[in-house]
Structure 1
Amino acid sequence: MPKSKRNRAVTLSKTKKKGREHKEAIVNSIRESVEKYPSVYVFAFENMRNLKFKQFRESLNSGGRFFLGSNKVMQVALGRSASDEIKPGLYKISKFLRGETGLFFTTMSEEEVKKVFDEFEVYDFARTGCNATEKVELKEGPLTEFSHEMEPFLRKQGLPVRLNKGVVELISDFVVCEEGNPLSPESARILRLLGVKMALFKLNLICSLRGDDFELYREGLEVSDIESS
């Protein structure tokens, strides 16, 4: 009787933060999902928000399974080449686990999966280091959206402000951020105070393996990439 590939010994690199047992548990969970679910998708994410992602998972009600974390560990679980993959074709999607990516195992149809991923997007406040999506400039004059108690805090963020008869006043025009430039900690705080949301949390499908059928969704990527990476 042929030996199960799932029970094959796995060599994992050492890590200071998480031990071998943790990695092996992830590998085993992924391999169990390979056997349990008929389809697996690789997706990329932008501006991850844990609470929003949790809400997205709960909204599916599909009995599916998500995996995020070390791409290398997920690749080991699936197989990084045709010789060590645990199911035919898995090494193809394994090659696309690069950058901010994850796995989604499901019983949903491809049409259903595409629909929920395409429709889901949430805007949130951008964090330090994110690139500004637009120029935000405050004009000289009263800042009526802020109470007088906010004046010391605003000055600490670099805003040229003063109190004028109990009203926070900007004494000169001030550029909070320029489009395309990374946000400083101060700029990110000011945008939050202004209620300006620039970060789009979005999940983008990259590829899938449904049964024996591999499909690539992401424009700009070629199947040849998986052979050369």
Structure 2
Amino acid sequence: MPKSKRDKKISLTKTDKKGLALKQKIVEDVRNCVEKYKSIYLFTYRNMRNEKMKEVREEWKPSRFFFGKNKVIAISFGKTVEEEVEENLHKMSAILKGQCGLLFTDCKKKKVVDWFNNYSVEDYARSGFKATETVNLKEGPLTQFSHAIEPYLRQLGMPTKLDRGVVTLLRDFEVCKKGNILTPEQAKILELLELRLATFRLILKAKWTKGKGFEEFEVDDEEVDLEVGEEMETNDD
């Protein structure tokens, strides 16, 4: 009986015992998923939101989402034809770069592609986000704010005062400029103004299916992460 490709020995050097055990567990989990599911989808993301990602995981059960170190996942798949655990899977390893995640699933390609293309959630931009538009406020009353918040607005850098109990802007004020990186103060002001400039999206990069091989999707050059994303946990349980 031929030896299974999954039984290939792997080398995880320069790692302490605790780190080595964790990496070996990741390799084992990934290879179990390769064996269990028909297809693997590689995706990148914009404006990661862990709480939204938890909802996505629930929606896609029993499919499985997986996040981990690219180098370790590449070892799990195999980096070369000789090392790969399934035919053509080394091609997936070759494009594991940047912010990536995996979806292991038995769902049809059309369902997966349609869902990814249509899924998006608007949210407040965070510090480190590249502003997608310029936001200006005109001099005068800001009636959307309670008088109690006026001192906090000044702390955030807004030129305000109370005029007969109404929060008033003393001069025109630029909250943020398109293309510039938001400061924590700017991000908070946008949230107080209820302006959602960030959109959480998952963007497909490639697909691998047993017996059918590897397929790479075209990704728009602008489809890059516009802020420092949240660190994703490897374990999705």
Which position in structure 2 is the counterpart of 1:152? 151
SS of 1:144's partner is: coil
Whole-Å separation in 1 of the counterparts to 2:12 and 2:46: 28
**What percent identity do the matched residue pairs reach?**
46
Which position in structure 1 is the counterpart of 2:167? 168
AA matched with 2:166: V
More displaced stretch, 5-14 vs 148-157: 5-14
Deviation at 1:151, TM superposition (A): 1.0
Contiguous gaps of at least 5 residues in structure 2: 222-237
SS of 2:154's partner is: helix
Task: Flag the 1:116–1:89 CA change in 2: closer, same or farther, 3 A.
Answer: same
AA matched with 2:214: F
Which position in structure 2 is the counterpart of 1:19? 19
Deviations 1:104-162 (A, max 9, x none): 11100001111111111011111111111111011101111111111111011100011
Deviation at 1:214, TM superposition (A): 1.5
AA matched with 1:78: F
SS of 2:161's partner is: strand
Whole-Å separation in 2 of the counterparts to 1:151 and 1:108: 52
Whole-Å separation in 2 of the counterparts to 1:7 and 1:214: 22
Which position in structure 2 is the counterpart of 1:213? 213
AA matched with 2:39: S
SS of 2:81's partner is: coil
Question: Contact 2:204–2:217 at 8 Å: present in 1 too?
Answer: yes
SS of 2:90's partner is: helix
Q: Given the two structures, how large is their TM-score scaled by the length of structure 2?
A: 0.88
Whole-Å separation in 1 of the counterparts to 2:220 and 2:122: 25
RMSD of the TM alignment (CA)?
A: 1.6
Deviation at 1:60, TM superposition (A): 2.3
Which position in structure 1 is the counterpart of 2:81? 82
Whole-Å separation in 1 of the counterparts to 2:64 and 2:81: 24
Whole-Å separation in 2 of the counterparts to 1:220 and 1:23: 32
AA matched with 1:68: F
AA matched with 2:146: S
Deviations 1:49-85 (A, max 9, x none): 0111111121224x11111121111111111111211
Which position in structure 2 is the counterpart of 1:56? 56
Contiguous gaps of at least 5 residues in structure 1: 222-229
Which position in structure 2 is the counterpart of 1:227? none
Alignment of 1:29 with 2:24, yes or no, is: no
Whole-Å separation in 2 of the counterparts to 1:152 and 1:142: 15
Which position in structure 2 is the counterpart of 1:191? 190
Report the number of matched residues.
Answer: 219
Runs of at least 4 residues off by over 6 Å? none
AA matched with 1:167: V
Q: For 1:92-107, list aligned pairs within 5 A.
A: 92-107=91-106
Deviation at 1:13, TM superposition (A): 4.5
Which position in structure 2 is the counterpart of 1:68? 67
Which position in structure 2 is the counterpart of 1:46? 46
Q: Which has the higher contact order (CA 8 A, sep 6+)?
A: 2
AA matched with 1:51: E
